[in-house]
Structure 1
Amino acid sequence: MRLVELKISTASQGGHAVVSVYGEVDLYTAPRLQTELAALVRDGVSRLVVDLSGVEFCDSTGMNVLLSAMKRMREHGGSLELAAPRSAVRRILQVTGLDTVFSVHDAVPAFGRT
């Protein structure tokens, strides 16, 4: 089994949170991201931005984690947005059509802005 490093850091202000993800999101690392996002949903965050600028690779498991987190956010009246995906991740979003499902920003939005 390969050792894949995944780093996740969260900054929150008011009801908004930015989760910065670094490394690879795949079958082995996606559960950590899922745990982090689920905790924010439980905490009642209304706007969740996932900063993908540090993600080198994201497979279908990672995409499913993001989709399920977005669904849970919507059920609680909130939103989940993606920010600054690298070209490889952006291609996956485009090929799967998920770029029309998620709100995707070229850069991480500042708190309090859209």
Structure 2
Amino acid sequence: MELNVTTSSQGDYAVVTATGELDLYTAPRLQTALASLIRDRADRVVVDLSGVEFCDSTGVNVLLAAMKRLQEQGGTLELAGLRPPVRRILQVTGLDSVFTIAEAVPTRGV
């Protein structure tokens, strides 16, 4: 399965929308999009995972690394719209208490 990644601006934050499966083979697409925002010194990044049906440890590591780099720059990374399989991997690993998780992408300007 493919992973499609798009980036958009929603007022004061960037939204990275991923759809498909996030795994060893597809994670570099998400990593590239996040690295670009980090390079551009984004303050707040929301990763919309509502279209992600599967996420393995490689995908989780991409998200963790991006969160760490953003925090080092004074920024934040939030996850939104987690489907049950993705939520489960974060719960099993204890990372659901590390990431900021929202039910959906925040409305513009919030």
Q: TM-score range by the shorter chain?
A: over 0.9
Compute the TM-score of the two structures, normalised by the length of structure 1.
0.93
RMSD over aligned CA atoms reads 1.0
How many residue pairs get aligned? The number is 110
Match of 1:111 in 2: 108
Percent identity between matched residues is 67
The one-character-per-residue Cα deviations of 1:17-61 (angstroms, maximum 9, x if unpaired) are: 000100000000001110110000111110000000000000000
SS at match of 2:49: strand
> Which 4+ runs in 1 deviate beyond 6 A?
none
SS at match of 1:77: coil
Which structure 2 residue ranges, 5 or more long, are not aligned? none
Contact 2:79 2:101 in 1 (8 A): yes
The one-character-per-residue Cα deviations of 1:64-112 (angstroms, maximum 9, x if unpaired) are: 0000000000011000000010011011111111110000001111232
Which structure 1 residue ranges, 5 or more long, are not aligned? none
Say whether 1:39 aligns with 2:8: no
SS at match of 1:27: coil
Say whether 1:73 aligns with 2:70: yes
CA distance in 2, matches of 1:15, 1:73: 15
Letter of the 1:20 counterpart: T
